[in-house]
Amino acid sequence: MSKIEQLHTKTAAAQLGGGQARIDSQHKKGKLTARERLTLLLDEGSFEEMGMLVSNNNKGLTLDQEAFLGDGVVTGYGTINGRLVYVYSQDFTVYGGSLSEPHAEKIVKIMDLAMQNGAPIIGLNDSGGARIQEGVVSLGGYADIFYRNTRASGVIPQLSAIMGPCAGGAVYSPAITDFILMVEQTSYMFVTGPNVVKTVTHEEVTSEELGGAQTHASKSGVTHFACANELECIQNLKQLLSYMPQNCQDDAPVYPYEPAAEERPALNTLIPENPNQPYDMKEVIAELVDAESFLEVHKDFAENIIVGFARIAGRSIGIVANQPAHLAGVLDIHASVKGARFTRFCDAFNIPLLVLVDVPGFLPGTDQEWNAIITNGAKLLYALSEATVPRITITTRKAYGGAYCVMNSKHIGADLNFAFPQAEIAVMGAKGAVEIIFKKDIDSASNAEVRMNELVDEYTNRFSNPYLAAEKGYIDEVIVPEQARKKLIRGFKMLENKVVDMPRKKHGNIPL
C-alpha cells in the first residue's frame, strides 16, 4: 500500500466512526450522524476537520476500550453564510458519543482556537456522558470544557444544539453557553435520569417528560428552542447566528432589506381603547421590524414577556416586550429571568435593544414572594441598568409602579423613550389608587359607587396618560403610533456610535 493509499484507508475508517451497523442504528432512531449534521450546518465544502485521526490510547487506564479514529467527536472549522465558525459534533456511533480524555482534548483545542480567533463556537451534542471506562479522567475533560465555556462567555457567541442524550454533569456545558436548541422526541437533558428520580423521590416519569425538548422549552426554560426535527434545529442555528457578531468587539452583519413604507397606520388601531382588553404584542413587533425578520427566543416559556431578535433597516436588534395577551403582560419570576438573560446577551454582543412596554406591574402572591420575585425581578432591573448598547423604549399602554422603572425607563439609562397616546404611566391603576387615597371620601359618600367612579375618572384624566411623564422629560416624545417604525429607524441610526464608559470594576454582582 502506498503512503497516500494508507492515508485514504485511515480517513475512510475515521469517516465510519463506530461502523456501518451503528450508523444504521442511529438512522433507525430518526437521528443523523455527526458528519451528516455538519454537512447540513456548514457552507458546502467549507468544513476543515481537525483531529480526525485522534484515537484513544488510554488502554489500561481503567478498563480496556477498543480505539476508534476520531474517538467520538468530529471537530474543526468552516463557514456559515461565509462567516467563520468552529464546530464540534459528537458521534454517537463511538461509545455513544461519550466523552473520553482525547474527545475532551479535541473540543478544548477547538474552543481555544475559537477564542483566540474571535469566532462563534457551535456544539452539536449527542452523548452518553462521561466515558465510563475512563473514570475521573473523563470528569477532568468535562471540567476543562466548562472552564473554557465560562472564559468564552461574553467574548464569542456559544451555541449548543442537543441532538440526543445529554445527561449528568454534561448538561452544564450547554447551560453556560448562550443558546440551547433541542430536538423533539430524540433529545433530552437532565442531571439525574428517570431511574434515579424513581429511587430518590418515588416519582415515575419518562425521559421525555423529565427532560425532553417540550419540557425544557415550556416548564424549565433550559432550552431556548424546541425544534420539530434535526433539520429545523440546524436551520434555527443558522438563523440565530445571522443576528450575532463574530465576537464582542465586532458588530452584527447588516442585511439588505425591503425599504417598505415607514409609516404603519395599522399601529394606530392595534392598541384597544379599553385598557383592560388584551392585544398581541407580536402584531406590534411585526409592524415595527423589517419584514420576516423577527426570530422569537424562548417562545413557549414565560409567555408574558417576549424576547427575540429582529432587524430594523437591516441591522440586528434585540427585543424585550411585555405581552398583554398573556397574563396581561405582568412581570413574574420567569419573565424577569428570561428578559434579563436575553438583555445581557444583547449587551455583551453589541446588539441594540428595543423595549416595548405594556405592563400592569409585578405579579402578587405567596408563590412569587416565597420564590424570590424580589431577587429575580431585580435581575431584569440590573441587566437593563447595566446595558450600554443603544436602548429605545416604546410604552404602548400601561407602565405601572416598579415595572415602569424596570422596563427600560429613562432613569435606568434608556436613550430614547417614546410613548403612544394610549400610554398610562403612573404608580398604579386608577381604581387601586383611588381606593387607597380616597378611602374616607368614598366611605362617607351617600353613593359610594358614584363617588368612586367620579374619582376614578378624575385620577385617569390626571395620571393615566403619558403627559405627566412627557412634562418631566421621562418620555422624549409622545408619538402617533403609525410613526413608530420611522422613529426607530432614525433613533437607532442616531445611536449607532454610542460609547459609554463604565466605572472600573472587576465585575458586577447581579442578584443571582
Q: Which residues are at the interface with ligand HXC (CB under 6 A)?
A: 22, 95-96, 98, 128-132, 139, 142, 165, 167-170
CB proximity list for 462: less than 8 A, separation 6 or greater: 468
- Min separation Cβ 53 and ligand HXC, Å: 21
- Euclidean distance between CA atoms 473 and 470, whole angstroms: 5
- The residue annotated as part of the active site, out of 70, 72, 97, 168, is 168
CB burial readout 439-448, b (16+ within 10 A) else e: eeebeeeeee
E strands, 58-198, are 73-80, 83-90, 121-125, 158-162, 165-167, 179-183, 188-190
Nearer to ligand HXC, 142 or 349 (CB): 142
Cα distance between residue 73 and residue 54, in whole Å: 10
Closer residue to ligand HXC (CB): 139 or 197: 139
- Edge-to-edge strands, sheet with 158-162: 48-50, 73-80, 83-90, 121-125, 158-162, 179-183, 225-227
- The residue (of 139 and 510) whose beta carbon lies closer to ligand HXC is 139
Catalytic residue among 169, 193, 413, 432: 169
Select 90 or 223, whichever has its Cβ closest to ligand HXC: 90
Minimum gap (Å) between residue 195 Cβ and ligand HXC:
9
Q: How far is the CB of 96 from ligand HXC (least distance, A)?
A: 3
Rounded to the nearest angstrom, the gap between the alpha carbon of residue 469 and the centroid of all alpha carbons in its chain is 32
**426 counts as catalytic:** no
Residues 6+ apart with CB under 8 A from 24: none
Q: Measure the CA–CA gap between 333 and 78, rounded to whole angstroms.
A: 39
Minimum CB separation of residue 337 from ligand HXC in Å reads 24
State which residue, 206 or 447, has the beta carbon closest to ligand HXC: 206
CB 350 within 8 A of CB 251: yes
Which one is catalytic: 34, 313, 399, 403?
A: 403
Determine the Cα–Cα distance for residues 349 and 424; give it in Å rounded to an integer.
33
* C-alpha distances out from residue 201 to 18, 216, 393, 405, Å: 37, 20, 46, 42
CB 29, min distance to ligand HXC, A: 7
Mark whether 51 is an active-site residue. no
Q: How far is the CB of 292 from ligand HXC (least distance, A)?
A: 38
Distance separating alpha carbons of residues 380 and 385, to the nearest angstrom: 8
CA distance 420 to 393: 11
Which CB sits closer to ligand HXC, 30 or 265? Answer: 30
Burial of 3 (0-12, 13-18, 19+ CB in 10 A): exposed
The helix or strand, by DSSP H or E, that contains position 151, with its residue range, turns out to be helix 136-152
Q: Which residue, 22 or 341, is less far from ligand HXC as judged by CB? A: 22
Catalytic residue (choose from 221, 402, 413, 432): 402
Nearer to ligand HXC, 127 or 408 (CB): 127
Smallest gap from Cβ 89 to ligand HXC, in A, equals 16
Cβ 15 to ligand HXC, closest distance in Å? 17
- C-alpha 427/C-alpha 468 separation (Å) is 12
The total of other beta-carbon atoms located within 10 Å of residue 184's CB is 16
Give whichever of 167 and 271 is closer to ligand HXC, judged by the CB atom: 167
Q: Are 360 and 398 in contact (CB under 8 A)?
A: yes
Beta-strand runs (E) in 26-107? 48-50, 73-80, 83-90
Task: Name the helix (H) or strand (E) containing 328.
Answer: none
Question: Is the separation of the CB atoms in 324 and 270 below 8 Å?
Answer: no
Residue 72 annotated among the catalytic residues of the structure: no
Q: Which residues are catalytic?
A: 168-169, 402-403
